[in-house]
Amino acid sequence: MKVISIDTETEDGFLDSYVFRFRTLGADSETSGEWMAGSAGPYLRKDAPTTYSYESSFSAFSEWDTMTPEEHQGAIQSILEDWKEARDRKGQA
């Protein structure tokens, strides 16, 4: 749905994250058939095409219409940062 770019301000150039929407299927799900948001990447633009990302492909199964693509990306990034901090703390214990 949208490509969100970040300038690394290094020789690597830009990182691109792809914000997408998808539907869940199944009669047992409360959100079955609803559009959900997810994000893939980020990917170094200079390396495109590639399947290697920087550990940030994720979905919290938030409904698409509740936020803008940028807000979805920010929410997903926040969740992943919190998870990575918890993982690192656990690894240090």
Domain coordinates in residue numbering, the chain? 2-92
Whether the bond between 69 and the residue before it is cis, its omega within 30 degrees of 0, is no
Max Cα-Cα span within the chain: 49
- Predicted confidence at residue 76, as pLDDT, reads 94
pLDDT tens digits along 43-73: 999 988 777 777 788 999 999 999 999 999 9
Counting Cα atoms < 13 Å in the Cβ hemisphere of 52 gives 5
Q: Work out the pLDDT band at 93, boundaries 50, 70, 90.
A: low
pTM of the model: 0.80
